[in-house]
């Protein structure tokens, strides 16, 4: 799938730091995903065919399942929370669990990379703010 664009639904909420959870618990469980605002990209990131192919390989290797269809094609969708500091940029990214750790971590890394030097400057509230990005990997059957 050449020239496929990153499917992003991003929604953000202010927080002074990464959610704190007792040891051994998933920090993503403390995030209210529905309240996160959109990650404010200057330019919409572009997914490459290799990115989609890598996720398809994880599904074929049975490390995870394609749980959704996008335009009739199998797909894997991952929400990622990103803590953005106005001074330093991306502080951390946390993927929402979908039962496929390899794709979750890959999506979190992509969001971090896509965010570097590609975010609209904020003038509102000072301090770090949480945002949400949804990364969708889709391919032909």
With beta carbons less than 8 A apart as the criterion, state whether 104 and 50 touch: no
Both tokens of 12, joined, read: 């953000």
E strands in the chain:
13-14, 68-70, 73-85, 89-95, 129-138
What is the rounded CA–CA span in Å between residue 70 and residue 139?
A: 9
Give, rounded to a whole angstrom, the gap between the first and last alpha carbons of the chain: 11
pLDDT of residue 30: 72
DSSP state of 96: P
Residue 138's Cβ-side half-sphere holds a number of Cα atoms within 13 Å equal to 18
| Residue that has been written with the tokens 């797909």 in this structure | 75
With beta carbons less than 8 A apart as the criterion, state whether 97 and 26 touch: yes
pTM: 0.77
Q: pLDDT truncated to tens, each residue of the chain (141 aa)?
A: 434 333 333 333 344 334 444 344 555 567 888 899 989 999 999 999 999 999 999 999 988 887 777 788 899 999 999 999 888 889 999 999 999 999 999 999 999 999 999 998 875 667 888 999 999 999 987
What is the rounded CA–CA span in Å between residue 111 and residue 106?
A: 9
How wide is the angle at C-alpha 64 spanned by C-alphas 91 and 82, nearest 5°? Answer: 15
What is the rounded CA–CA span in Å between residue 123 and residue 43?
A: 19
pLDDT of residue 127: 81
pLDDT of residue 23: 42
pLDDT of residue 77: 92
């Amino acid at each position: 799938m050449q020239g496929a664009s990153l499917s992003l639904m991003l929604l953000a909420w202010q927080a002074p730091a990464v959610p704190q959870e007792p040891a051994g618990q998933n920090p993503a469980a403390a995030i209210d995903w529905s309240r996160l605002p959109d990650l404010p990209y200057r330019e919409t990131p572009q997914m490459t065919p290799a990115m989609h192919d890598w996720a398809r390989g994880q599904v074929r290797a049975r490390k995870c399942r394609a749980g959704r269809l996008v335009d009739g094609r199998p797909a894997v969708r991952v929400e990622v929370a990103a803590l953005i500091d106005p001074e330093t940029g991306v502080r951390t990214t946390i993927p929402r669990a979908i039962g496929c750790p390899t794709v979750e971590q890959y999506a979190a890394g992509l969001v971090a990379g896509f965010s570097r030097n590609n975010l609209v400057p904020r003038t509102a509230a000072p301090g770090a703010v949480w945002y949400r990005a949804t990364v969708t990997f889709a391919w032909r059957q």
